[in-house]
Chain A
Amino acid sequence: MTTIQHISTGRRVKDRIVQGLVYLAFALAVVPLVSVLWLVISNGLARFDMEFLTHSMRNIGARDAGGGAYHAIIGTLEQVLLASVISVPIGLLTAIYLVEYGNGGRLSRAISFFVDVMTGIPSVVAGLFVLAFWILFLGMPYSGFAGAMALSILMMPTVVRSAEEMLRLVPGDLREASYALGVPKWRTIVKVVLPTALTGIITGVMLAVARVAGETAPLLLTVFFTDSINNDPFSGPQMGLPLFVFDQAARPNDTAIDRAWTGALTLILIVMLFNLVARLIAWWRSPARGR
């Protein structure tokens, strides 16, 4: 009777080593996440107070303590809202074109390809474009709106892709049923297809918002800086929370660095909040919950 032979030690060791490396890779990837979050929370909590959330940096000298990011928070919220107002209709309509009207023709393939390519545009290039077109070419001033335009360029491809995915999930039967009732195509899309895909689309938009809310480079080139509160995104320099962090981090004294950390904490909270809301909407609608 021959016994079942064991595999060679070499093969077993190699298998174990690779397994170890794969686990190590995952650990390596998680370490910076934990480290970043830990540092932001521990350093950011020191100044995370009402003054920070309700005051601007107006009349706060370079070495002074105190001051806050109220102007930056207002700026970020307004810019992100405006960016959504610009990018969501264009993105959504483009997705509708791709799914309902495109038919895989040459134009739709070109759009689809460049939407993918657009996701790879560096955010600083989007900022430079708005700078070149809006501020230098048209001679408009730096403003929150200019920043919103740059952010909207970064949002659009994400909105198109997520909306497209959701629209494709809507069963063809639903459309057919509507056509069978004599409802024209555009009304079918507006009254039947869009409502069915709505929560999925909202999730996608929220994730896109979360992504651009943390962008600094495009704002740097388009909204410029201010230490004061400017509630009007259409006139004059504004601030944005990422910009606030960048600005404070570049100042060489501890009170500014403290403000940078607290700004980072506020920014992460806002970004994570958008992320969380997006996931909650997705979860609330997911089939696993039986809807």
Chain B
Amino acid sequence: MSKQIQVSGLDAYYGGHKAIEDVSMTIEPRSITAFIGPSGCGKSTFLRTLNRMHEVIPGARVEGKVLLDGEDLYAPTVEPVSVRRMIGMVFQRPNPFPTMSIYENVAAGLRLNGRVSKSEMDGVVEESLKGANLWNEVKDRLSKPGAGLSGGQQQRLCIARAIAVKPQVLLMDEPCSALDPISTLAIEDLMAKLKDDYTIVIVTHNMQQAARVSDRTAFFNLAEQGKPGKVIEMDETSRMFTNPSEKATEDYITGRFG
């Protein structure tokens, strides 16, 4: 249940401002693709165009094609709601629903899609929490509020919530930037496990993280402040970090800027 994403000639705008320009790439299924680059280079914006979350911001729009196993996500007949149902997302800051319990948080997405029996729901919640390596820590307090968990646990709860609806793709927008190193490690282990089932795309500021977890890496950069961001280079992660073909990539990776 994991699919390939093909992007061609994609531009994204905020009102009159062009945030990214002419991005084309292929994201392979059952692998982790990392986006790296300096702040403001449009990597998060690009990530949000992949499940049509970009257009949630007033005035934001997209031009170009995003194909999910050949099907255009931006075709006129496609609804953003169904796209997001198939392409899950985990955000920078853990955002469990504050008024819901742990159980309800995981069940939230599933409940949208019609009636599910109690036993079936219990099964999905357990399976998702296990999938997110959280089950053992919360199984005795499923009815407690999700906001009572630690930051790292909350983020894994959000991952459980995202995988509970069995998406084809999982997008992660700097999922560890608000977490301590131990929680970060837990999330990274989890990603390695989830990659067997999902296409995973992760935006990260942390180059070591990209090198540790990802199979392929794309480097985003912008010519100068105010200009749109572009993909400078995309390659196997191992090659990218040892032998990049672009000077800018090498400068960024070795910490000469950014």
CA gap between A11 and B109 in the complex, in Å: 13
Contact check, B71 vs A3: say whether CB atoms are below 8 A apart: yes
Q: Is B76 an interface residue (CB 8 A)?
A: no
- Chain B contact residues (Cβ within 8 angstroms of A): what range? 10 to 19
Contact check, A8 vs B113: say whether CB atoms are below 8 A apart: yes
Q: Which residue of A lies closest to B69 (CB)?
A: A1
CA gap between A162 and B87 in the complex, in Å: 47
Q: Which residues of B58-99 are within 8 A (CB) of A?
A: 68-71, 73, 78-79, 81-83, 85-86
Contact check, A4 vs B71: say whether CB atoms are below 8 A apart: yes
Chain B residues with Cβ below 8 Å from A7 are 79, 81-82, 85
CA gap between A264 and B248 in the complex, in Å: 73
CA gap between A7 and B82 in the complex, in Å: 6
Q: Is B112 an interface residue (CB 8 A)?
A: yes
Write the A1-42 contact mask toward B (1 if CB under 8 angstroms, else 0): 111111110110000000000000000000000000000000
Q: Is B16 an interface residue (CB 8 A)?
A: no
Contact check, B82 vs A1: say whether CB atoms are below 8 A apart: no
Contact check, B114 vs A8: say whether CB atoms are below 8 A apart: yes
Contact check, B70 vs A1: say whether CB atoms are below 8 A apart: yes
Chain A residues with Cβ below 8 Å from B71 are 1, 3-4
CA gap between A247 and B81 in the complex, in Å: 59
Chain A residues with Cβ below 8 Å from B114 are 8, 10
Chain B residues with Cβ below 8 Å from A6 are 79, 82
Chain A residues with Cβ below 8 Å from B68 are 4
Contact check, A11 vs B79: say whether CB atoms are below 8 A apart: no
CA gap between A8 and B79 in the complex, in Å: 11
Q: Which residues of B137-177 are within 8 A (CB) of A?
A: none
CA gap between A3 and B113 in the complex, in Å: 17
Write the B23-63 contact mask toward A (1 if CB under 8 angstroms, else 0): 00000000000000000000000000000000000000000
Q: A5-B85, A7-B85 are in contact. List 10 more A-B contacts (CB 8 A).
A: A1-B69, A1-B71, A4-B68, A4-B71, A4-B82, A5-B86, A6-B79, A6-B82, A8-B114, A11-B112
**The 5 residue pairs across chains A and B that have the minimum distance between CB atoms:** A7-B81, A7-B82, A4-B82, A1-B69, A4-B78
16 contacts between A and B (CB under 8 A): A1-B69, A1-B70, A1-B71, A2-B69, A4-B68, A4-B73, A4-B78, A4-B83, A4-B86, A5-B82, A6-B82, A7-B79, A7-B82, A7-B85, A8-B114, A10-B114
